[in-house]
Structure 1
Amino acid sequence: MNAPFPISETPRRPLSVRLATPRGFCAGVDRAIQIVERAIEKYGAPVYVRHEIVHNRHVVERLKARGAVFVKELDECPDDRPVVFSAHGVPKAVPQAARSRDMLYLDATCPLVSKVHVEAERHHANGRHIILIGHAGHPEVVGTMGQLPPGAISLVETVDDAETFQRPGEQPLAYATQTTLSVDDTAGILSVLKRRFPELPDPHKEDICYATTNRQEAVKRLGEGCDLVLVIGSANSSNSARLVEVAIRAGARDARLIDDASHVDWSWLDGVQTLGVTAGASAPERLIEELIAAVAARFDADVTEDDGARETVTFKLPRVLTA
């Protein structure tokens, strides 16, 4: 990688920089991080966290430094220390196992993911087979499918999957979606399912969370007028990866997912007149600030902020952490 700041004092060429609004942390991510921080303050270190609390390397490393220990499975945790479940949600078997061991556990599942879990349980109770639109292996999908007995949910990832899906038996159908999907891709999949199974309810956006929808709309505006869009987010962040795809589809000549400013290949900006910048819902704002500083060190940057949705959503912390 190139050095983060220029070494020479050569004249800097003009560059228009547009910041997407909204960008970065959403309410669910902010709540999950606060749960880990408050747990460390209340119970002391170490506090165990099952899976990455959110999909961002910088967040995870900062929490590690404060005393969080990240593990893959519950059996890696001692009985006598608190454990936090990640924002993506967990299968029902995980809290059941924690209770059987008398563990203190804190559930940081995003309330909007919990809403999908409740919807899935309601559909199942009403005798419906559930089509879940999502990405295989993603923790949120694993958690949602783990709310119900095996076979109660069928995963559909693509339009092709929707075309070939076969109803199991004679059960009526319902559907749910992962909260961090591409809004447009999901609409295409639902259109196919609705054509094949007219009894499905009309397509809706409720399961794709407000933060995902708002960030994709903001990136569409960037893509329409930017030569290059840089999206700050980790490679395993679904909502961040979707922003890159949305930017390209909206008309950006190029779009790149980067962990932080140190991962920019500055040759990407050759010939770029307008640069768009955003961040996935699990990326801290300081990473945006550091990227803008690195850009300003190399270019005569005119930085403006796009108009967009102003988010005021907040989620309450578990009562045990606020009492």
Structure 2
Amino acid sequence: MGVRRKVLLAAPRGFCAGVDRAVKAVHTALAEYGPPVYVRHEIVHNTHVIAELEAAGAVFTDDLDTVPPGSVLVFSAHGVSPQVRQHARSRSLRVVDATCPLVSKVHAEARRYARDDHQIVLIGHHDHIEVAGTRGHAPRHTHVVDPDDPDAVARLTLDADRPVVWLSQTTLAVDDVDRAVSRLRERFPHLTQPPTDDICYASTNRQAAIAAIAARCDLVLVVGSSTSSNSKRLVTVARRAGARAAYLVDDADQVDPRWLVGVETVGVTSGASAPERVVRQVLGRLAARGWDDVEQVVGTAEDVVFVPPPLHRARPTPAEA
């Protein structure tokens, strides 16, 4: 008998409400104002989304000095610091703020705890754009701890007489944050818990969905770009949950046929910034090689929708010029 080939398709997967809101904000700005519309940083971390928006007239930049004064500028879903907002104002840029509301929540927490003179331990990756934005809301109070560094907590130098609170980057693996918090509690027994978890619902749900099927899979494919933190975390979660192998693929062309040798069951999911059309392309590639039996395994239902960010006039009126 031949190999019984099957695909387990995890749900939920793909675009979360924050990503959907941000991508639509750029499309709406382009339709309203016409190109170019400038975007501070990649609107979301996905090469296919970026390429599509660039083709429509979006210009992505990390340097606001390259944006002509008076232009339309969209802040990415990852959020920005107050310093970036001030820089945009100083150049008279028409800002459309597509920051994910869940990231904005963490910003508000950082400001509140800083006002109360808490020392903030921000669990996250030092070089991630979201961490830079959050840290900018309380720079003198914030200490970043990388969850992948087991010695990071031990190296912290904090004032023993001031309270300590932890916050986190929204796209991390739940288990990684829990381990970091456990280390923090060992050093700081009176550590303050934030009022709600900072890891966004979409990251949590997608991690739970792939964890639920990973042990049944010989191979897990996570559709997403290498710059996407939440997509990379899904690979980690799949491996920890029992998948024999797990890989991150940007699209169908990155599926290595050698991975499929001896494989019966393939699990497929996608990060919160990956378009569903790319997932369908990966499924098509698998079907062409014999994995055409697809079972969708549904976990937590999602019905979160965020209000679109307000738009602004693209060009100054004569009275404003």
Following superposition, the deviation at residue 206 of structure 1 comes to 1.4
Query: Could you tell me which of 28, 37, 44 is aligned with 1:47?
Result: 37
Distance in 2 between the 1:314 and 1:126 partners? 32
Q: Do the aligned partners of 1:16 and 1:274 also contact (CA within 8 Å) in 2?
A: yes
Following superposition, the deviation at residue 165 of structure 1 comes to 1.8
Following superposition, the deviation at residue 147 of structure 1 comes to 1.1
1:301 aligns to what SS in structure 2? coil
Query: Could you tell me which of 99, 122, 134 is aligned with 1:132?
Result: 122
Partner amino acid for 2:216?
Answer: G
Q: Do the aligned partners of 2:111 and 2:138 also contact (CA within 8 Å) in 1?
A: yes
Distance in 1 between the 2:276 and 2:233 partners? 19
Q: Which residue of 2 aligns with 1:302?
A: 293
Partner amino acid for 1:298?
Answer: R
1:272 aligns with 2:263: yes
Q: Could you report, residue by residue, the CA deviation over 1:70-123 in whole angstroms, capped at 9, with x for unpaired residues?
A: 112111101121011111011111111111222101111100000000000000
Following superposition, the deviation at residue 17 of structure 1 comes to 0.2
Distance in 2 between the 1:26 and 1:50 partners? 20
Count of aligned positions: 311
Q: Which residue of 2 aligns with 1:237?
A: 228
Query: Could you tell me which of 105, 120, 145 is aligned with 1:156?
Result: 145
Task: In structure 2, list runs of 5 or more residues that go unmatched.
Answer: 314-321
Partner amino acid for 1:186?
Answer: V
Following superposition, the deviation at residue 300 of structure 1 comes to 4.7
Q: Do the aligned partners of 1:187 and 1:203 also contact (CA within 8 Å) in 2?
A: no
Distance in 2 between the 1:42 and 1:17 partners? 42
Q: Do the aligned partners of 2:165 and 2:193 also contact (CA within 8 Å) in 1?
A: no
1:144 aligns with 2:134: yes
Query: Could you tell me which of 10, 20, 23 is aligned with 2:10?
Result: 20
Q: Which residue of 2 aligns with 1:246?
A: 237
Aligned residues: CA RMSD: 1.7
1:319 aligns with 2:319: no
Task: In structure 1, list runs of 5 or more residues that go unmatched.
Answer: 1-11
Distance in 1 between the 2:213 and 2:248 partners? 15
Q: Which residue of 1 aligns with 2:317?
A: none
Following superposition, the deviation at residue 202 of structure 1 comes to 4.7
Matches within 5 A, 1:101-140: 101-140=91-130
Q: Do the aligned partners of 1:227 and 1:273 also contact (CA within 8 Å) in 2?
A: yes
1:71 aligns with 2:61: yes
Matches within 5 A, 1:158-307: 158-168=149-159, 170-202=161-193, 206-307=197-298
Q: Do the aligned partners of 1:36 and 1:68 also contact (CA within 8 Å) in 2?
A: yes
Q: Which residue of 1 aligns with 2:316?
A: none
Partner amino acid for 2:11?
Answer: T
Distance in 2 between the 1:45 and 1:91 partners? 26
Q: Do the aligned partners of 2:167 and 2:194 also contact (CA within 8 Å) in 1?
A: no
Partner amino acid for 2:187?
Answer: R
Structure 1 residues 300 and 255: CA distance shift in structure 2, 3 A: closer
2:299 aligns to what SS in structure 1? coil
User: What is the TM-score with the length of structure 2 in the denominator?
Assistant: 0.93
1:30 aligns with 2:20: yes
2:92 aligns to what SS in structure 1? coil
Q: Do the aligned partners of 1:183 and 1:205 also contact (CA within 8 Å) in 2?
A: no
Distance in 2 between the 1:300 and 1:136 partners? 40
Q: Do the aligned partners of 1:52 and 1:60 also contact (CA within 8 Å) in 2?
A: yes
Following superposition, the deviation at residue 264 of structure 1 comes to 0.7
Q: Do the aligned partners of 1:84 and 1:105 also contact (CA within 8 Å) in 2?
A: yes
Q: Do the aligned partners of 1:230 and 1:277 also contact (CA within 8 Å) in 2?
A: yes
1:69 aligns to what SS in structure 2? strand
